[in-house]
């Protein structure tokens, strides 16, 4: 009989987190297996996983399921660590893109030629602002009002 007829793989391992905050309840469930790896032609593959994220805000419930692959063996990354790594990845993505969109209004920008370079300039500006320890909105307002302060932040020289 095929595995499909016998249910889930025998080595499947699960982990779940529940977070409450910002007016929402989020549940993340991960199921990890290495059994199917032998049947996949993917060099370095050690595990596969299914991650389901459910979010409840008020009466509205949304769900998303994604599938993951990793070269990390179960001895280095069980379901709990894989879930943490996935969250850390999105934390970095959100920190970069969300901040650029909110503070720099990036989604409204219609630049097509040179968009990557412009994103680099924005990242540099955000890095300088963070290095100075200033709130981003406050720093942008200060730099807009006093360009010499912005030049000093970049060059270290006072004009």
- Paired strand residues for 22: none
**Burial readout 40-49 (b: 16 or more C-beta within 10 A, e: otherwise):** eeeeeebbbb
Rounded (5°) CA angle 98-105-126? 60
Nearest Cα residue to 54 out of 30, 85, 28: 28
User: Which range among 31-35, 146-150, 155-159 shows the weakest confidence by mean pLDDT?
Assistant: 155-159
With contact defined as beta carbons under 8 Å apart, do 143 and 149 qualify?
A: yes
Domains of the chain are: 1-79 (2.20.130.10)
Model confidence pTM above 0.75: no
Q: Per residue in 105-120, pLDDT tens? A: 777 778 878 888 888 8
Q: Mean pLDDT throughout 14-42?
A: 90
Q: Per residue in 42-54, pLDDT tens? A: 899 999 999 999 9
Rounded Cα–Cα distance for residues 14 and 37 (Å)? 17
Q: Mean pLDDT throughout 90-105?
A: 71
């Amino acid at each position: 009989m095929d595995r499909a007829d016998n249910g889930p793989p025998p080595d499947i391992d699960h982990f779940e987190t529940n977070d409450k905050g910002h007016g929402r309840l989020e549940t993340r469930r991960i199921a990890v297996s290495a059994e199917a790896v032998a049947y996949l032609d993917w060099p370095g593959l050690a595990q596969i996983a299914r991650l389901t994220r459910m979010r409840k805000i008020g009466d509205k419930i949304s769900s998303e399921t994604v599938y993951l692959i990793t070269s990390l063996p179960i001895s280095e990354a069980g379901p709990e660590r894989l879930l943490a790594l996935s969250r850390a990845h999105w934390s970095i993505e959100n920190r970069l893109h969300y901040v650029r969109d909110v503070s720099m209004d990036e989604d409204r920008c219609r630049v097509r030629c040179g968009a990557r370079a412009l994103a680099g300039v924005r990242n540099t500006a955000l890095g300088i602002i963070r290095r100075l320890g200033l709130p981003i909105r406050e720093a942008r307002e200060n730099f807009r009002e006093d360009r010499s302060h912005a030049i000093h932040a970049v060059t270290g020289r006072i004009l």
